[in-house]
Each structure stands twice: as C-alpha cells, then as structure tokens.
C-alpha cells in the first residue's frame, strides 16, 4: 500500500479535520471527513440509484467545498501514478512537452 498525504482542510486548527490521501497502489482516494447525521444519510439513500441503503462497510462523510483543490490534487496524483505504471515508469511522458527532464 502506497499512501500519499495530499492535504487537510485549509481552515483547520489542527484537530480532527477533513483530510485527503491518495493510495497510488489501489488507485483510490482516501477521505477523512465529518460523519453524516441520520438526516443526511436518509437524503443520500433517497437519491442513490441503488436505493439499497449504505452498507455497513461504507460511510457518508462531509468534506467542505474549500477542499476541492486538494481533492483535484489527489486525483492528479493517482493519474500520474497510473500513467507511470502504464508507461513502465517513464516520467517523461507525464511532464509537459519542452521540459528538459
């Protein structure tokens, strides 16, 4: 497992704040957020295509919109890792053209 810390809520005071990591091996985002209350869970269930409820192995968490840039950065990290894997580790393909690399 290769976990890469990406960022924490920029408004953090250092305690129990939403955080984003990227697992580049499994190609997954990992999120720590505020747990949803029963009202939010019910709203999510009502709009879910499966309408099956939230499985015991999953959770709904809240992540503030101000973390969108951090989530994008995590997505970029996963895409770069996937590109390295598909190109045999050639980082030159993930750099903009014209870089001396």
Domain that holds residue 80: 3-94
Within-domain flag for 100: no
pLDDT at 91: 54
pLDDT at 39: 95
The dihedrals phi and psi of 66, each to the nearest 5 degrees, come to -65, -10
Helices (H), 1-101: 38-47, 68-86
Percent of the chain exceeding pLDDT 70 equals: 86
pLDDT at 90: 59
How do residues 46-80 score in pLDDT, each as one tens digit? 998 887 888 889 999 999 999 999 999 999 999 99
The dihedrals phi and psi of 97, each to the nearest 5 degrees, come to -60, 150
Within-domain flag for 56: yes
More confident residue, 30 or 50: 30
Give the total number of structural domains in the chain: 1
- Band (87; pLDDT cuts 50, 70, 90): confident
């Amino acid at each position: 497992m290769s976990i890469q810390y990406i960022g924490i809520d920029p408004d953090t005071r250092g305690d129990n704040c939403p955080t984003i990591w990227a697992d580049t091996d499994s190609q997954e985002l990992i999120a720590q957020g505020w747990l949803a209350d029963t009202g939010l869970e019910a709203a999510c269930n009502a709009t879910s295509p499966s309408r099956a409820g939230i499985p015991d192995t999953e959770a709904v968490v809240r992540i503030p919109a101000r973390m969108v840039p951090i989530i994008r950065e995590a997505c970029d990290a996963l895409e770069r890792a996937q590109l390295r894997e598909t190109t045999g580790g050639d980082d030159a393909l993930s750099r903009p053209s014209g870089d001396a690399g």
